Amino acid sequence: MPEELRGQAKLFDPLTTKGTAFTREERIKYGLLGLLPTAEKTLEQQVEHSWHEFSTRRDDLDKHIYLRALQDRNETLFYALLRAHIAETMPIVYTPTVGVACQRFSEIYRRPRGLFVSYPDRDRLAEVINNRPHRDPAVIVVTDGQRILGLGDQGIGGMGIPIGKLSLYTLIGGINPARTLPIVLDVGTDNVELLQDPQYLGWRHRRISDDEYYTFIDEFVTTVHGQLPNVLLQWEDFATAHAMPILERYRDKMLTFNDDIQGTAAVTLGALHGASKIAGRPLSQQQVVMLGAGSAGIGVLNMVQREMVAQGLSEAEAAERIWVVDVVGLLTDDRGDLSEEQEKFAKPADRIAGWGLSGPAQLADVVHHVDVGILMGLSTAAGAFTESIVREMASKAERPIIFPLSNPTSHAEAHPQELDEWTGGRALIATGSPFAPLRRDGVERPVAQCNNVYIFPAMGLAVTAAEARRVTDDMMRVAAATLGDTSPALSDPNAPLLPAWTDLPDVAVRIAHAVARQAVADGVAPARTDEQIAERITQVRWIPEYPD
């Protein structure tokens, strides 16, 4: 058993400190007399004080910096504050404010957190991983900073994403903060502004070549798996060209998933579940259009296709109902620039020939010629869902389902208020970034945000509790279905398609139980009854409370 910390070591350990909540007896026991003001506060009083401090900060980035400093000082208080004010703090800890924090990471950097795994240290990877701040992490979130949200290459600034994600693993999923590990792979940056910025803290070098890159990734994974064979490794914000190959290479060899591909797909499918029921037309009978053919968009469509198959279609029949448009135009089988994943959804060129177009079919052409019921965007093309496109779609569908999913808010394909006005209030809407509530007939109506936070914290809780060895496709699909079953819109058509932020911890437990059960059914976790799974979830779930 490790020796109990005392004095300043106890006071300044963010995982075990109570700050002013140490009682007089504890101050004597741990050698803290004189190191703290006389007053003793409860955790609730500390939360109230911290909330006042938070509320006085002048802008969202300043609030983000305050919360990061609080996290570095006292993890329990940090999470107790977030839990008491989930709706207000989520956009500060994560999207959209985390995007600005990544852009200004070197400028606002205060204290190290996690691991900076740099390419120049590639010959000492075992030492780097062994230097991790906590010995037994259950979850690692790793990025290489190349495709941060919709902001592009942020180099080492991408570290803000793993830090923010893991904060939500703890807040929502109950993963003990001592068992989380954020990692950034510093393999250079092609962002010239960063390379020329004297404040930039990363390796000043162009990104390494693909051959060097994949060798480095393999060495990193091998080292992590060797030291931490049971850890969940989540890949985050990797470039489209790298994301899918990395996932395919390791998904059957270790406990891992890609949140941009699988998490985005699961939460989107969860929202579609409720929307399709309200529209009175199951997913298998819808024509689905996706603007954006990156790893996230294709990941969503893969899961949509699997759900259509689960509803009775063949894979080919499901693919026929899915249309994908990228920056060039509609994916067709005569294009030579498509990846293997994209080719699955390419339309026969002769099927489009009758449209009489002089070039590749664009989004407006697809909406004009196809009975589109679902329109989604993961393109980062701001304003791409134009009024004319939306109005034409609304003329064909009684309840058009429209999901502008790109992050951050400035890159959304349309704003919810516009969609509501252009469809006469008939659109079923979910977004990727947070938006203000819709105002219609003098009433405010919250807009569902397809934030991956509905999925990944629950996955972390599920695989930790179930002691899973892999993350299967069916585990993700069950997560989506369970989320869909919690949709407030199922009982109130005017309610959002997804639960409120304040309900997230309870929703996560429900999803975790279903996913853990599926892990057992898939043979990737030890056999347990439902009661045993529930008991395991209770055992591993961390709550921000001071120990007696």
In the block, tokens 């950034």 appear at 184
Q: What is the mean pLDDT of residues 528-535?
A: 98
- The model's pTM is 0.91
In the block, tokens 């050698």 appear at 31
pLDDT of 2 over the 80 cut: no
Q: Are 113 and 210 a contacting pair, CB within 8 Å?
A: no
Identify the band that residue 457 occupies on the pLDDT scale cut at 50, 70 and 90: very high
Q: Are 156 and 145 a contacting pair, CB within 8 Å?
A: yes
pLDDT of 208 over the 60 cut: yes
Please tell me the distance from the alpha carbon of residue 524 to that of residue 533, in angstroms, as a whole number: 14
Q: Count the neighbouring beta carbons within 10 Å of the beta carbon of residue 365.
A: 19
Which residue from 274, 241, 301 is spatially nearest to 489, judged by alpha carbons? 274
Same fold for the pair 92-254 and 262-453: yes
Identify the band that residue 95 occupies on the pLDDT scale cut at 50, 70 and 90: confident
Judged by DSSP in three states, 115 sits in strand
The catalytically annotated residue of 79, 165, 200, 546 is 165
Q: What is the mean pLDDT of residues 115-137?
A: 97
pLDDT of 376 over the 60 cut: yes
CATH classification code of 7-86: 1.20.1370.30
Q: Tell me if 144 is assigned to a ligand binding site.
A: no
Element (H, E) at 233: strand 232-235
Q: Tell me if 451 is assigned to a ligand binding site.
A: yes
Please tell me the distance from the alpha carbon of residue 542 to that of residue 404, in angstroms, as a whole number: 34
The catalytically annotated residue of 79, 94, 213, 454 is 94
Q: What is the mean pLDDT of residues 54-69?
A: 97
pLDDT of 493 over the 80 cut: no
Domain boundaries along the sequence of the chain:
7-86, 92-254, 262-453
* Residue 104: per-residue pLDDT: 97
pLDDT of 198 over the 80 cut: yes
Q: Which two tokens stand for residue 477?
A: 């699909």
Single-letter residue type at 241: A
Q: Tell me if 467 is assigned to a ligand binding site.
A: no
For CA atoms 522, 523, 526, 531, the dihedral sign is positive
CATH classification code of 92-254: 3.40.50.10380
Mean pLDDT taken over the chain:
95
Element (H, E) at 483: helix 473-485
* Residue 494: per-residue pLDDT: 80
Task: Say what percent of the chain tops pLDDT 90.
Answer: 89
Q: Which two tokens stand for residue 143?
A: 């990025």
Alpha helices by DSSP H, 74-185: 75-84, 86-93, 97-103, 105-108, 125-130, 160-173
Q: Are 103 and 161 a contacting pair, CB within 8 Å?
A: no
Which residue from 22, 100, 14, 23 is spatially nearest to 61, judged by alpha carbons? 100
* Residue 541: per-residue pLDDT: 98
165 is catalytic: yes
Q: Tell me if 147 is assigned to a ligand binding site.
A: yes
Give the CATH superfamily of 262-453. NAD(P)-binding Rossmann-like Domain (3.40.50.720)
* Residue 410: per-residue pLDDT: 86
Please tell me the distance from the alpha carbon of residue 289 to that of residue 371, in angstroms, as a whole number: 10
